[in-house]
Amino acid sequence: MKTILTCLLVLCFQLVLAQKSQFTNDPNLAAKGRFNVGAIITYSTATPPPAFIADVSYGISDKTTIGITGGTTGALALYGIKFNTLIAGSDNKRLLFRFLSVYYPERDGRFMFDRNPKYVMPWFLTMAVLDGEWKLKNRMRLNAGIGLMETHCREDMKMWFKKNHDHHDMGHNGEIEESLIDVFTTLQAGVAVPLSQRLTLKLEAIAVFHKTRLIHKDEFKVTFPINPFLYFVYAF
């Protein structure tokens, strides 16, 4: 009987240790076969609140996570897909690839707390970044990296398939005044702080450049040159 009780205690202790090891406060990669749920909160003086974006991610392996996202910027709705993968390194020092593609549906009139009637045609934002990440002894994670971002309107996509259609930026001479796709470079840096065994808070800021210079406010569809946000992630 004592032997059985001892074996049960040892087994329970091992299960507790295994349970603790499953949660690594990783905001980018969900554990294999498990889900992460996240919420991005930011503040903007250009659009009314709330600015809130939620996502659900699933670990298809120990190195790759896929997910969906949706929410609002305060002035527009959005939804899209995300993909994160480990390129090289270990849990303490690693190189990550992060991909995000978001669709902003058409807005015609008022939207949520923005009571000013406005028309915004549907458009896309796609971003791919490379991040170097370092995990400290206190489980905090530091990251910094570079990336590419592009934006384009849905109507612009027709230019790839149909030559004769009315582009929204046609000039008086019938030629396109602006490029179909705006391409940017990004620099990003952040810190992820464990709030509990399952909950992590990530503070990150993304700086957006166009042709090597920091963009101006409201110059492109990307509203701000520097975009800070809070990202809460809960691991299931």
Mean of pLDDT values over 147-173: 66
The predicted pLDDT at position 144 comes to: 97
Mean of pLDDT values over 145-162: 79
Percent of the chain, pLDDT > 70?
A: 76
Better-scored residue on pLDDT, 51 or 5: 51
Better-scored residue on pLDDT, 175 or 162: 162
Domain boundaries of the chain, sorted by first residue: 2-235
Please identify, in words, the CATH class of the domain defined by 2-235.
Answer: mainly beta
57-116 confidence digits (pLDDT tens) = 999 999 999 999 999 988 889 999 999 999 999 878 999 999 999 999 998 888 887 788
4-14 confidence digits (pLDDT tens) = 444 444 444 34
Supply angle C-alpha 84, 76, 147, rounded to 5. 30
Mean of pLDDT values over 205-209: 95
The predicted pLDDT at position 31 comes to: 94
18-36 confidence digits (pLDDT tens) = 344 456 899 999 999 999 9
Asked if residue 195 has pLDDT above 50, the reply is yes
Q: What is the DSSP string of the chain?
A: -HHHHHHHHHHHHHHHHHHHHH----SS-PPBT-EEEEEEE---SSSPSP-EEEEEEEESSSSEEEEEEEEE-SSSEEEEEEEEEEEEE-SSEEEEEEEEEEEE--EEEEETTEEEEEEE--EEEEEEEEEEEEE-TTS-EEEEEEEEEEEEETGGGGGGT-SSS--TTB-TTSSBSS-SSEEEEEEEEEEEEESSSSEEEEEEEEEEEETTEEPPTTSSSS--SEEEEEEEEEE-
The predicted pLDDT at position 158 comes to: 64
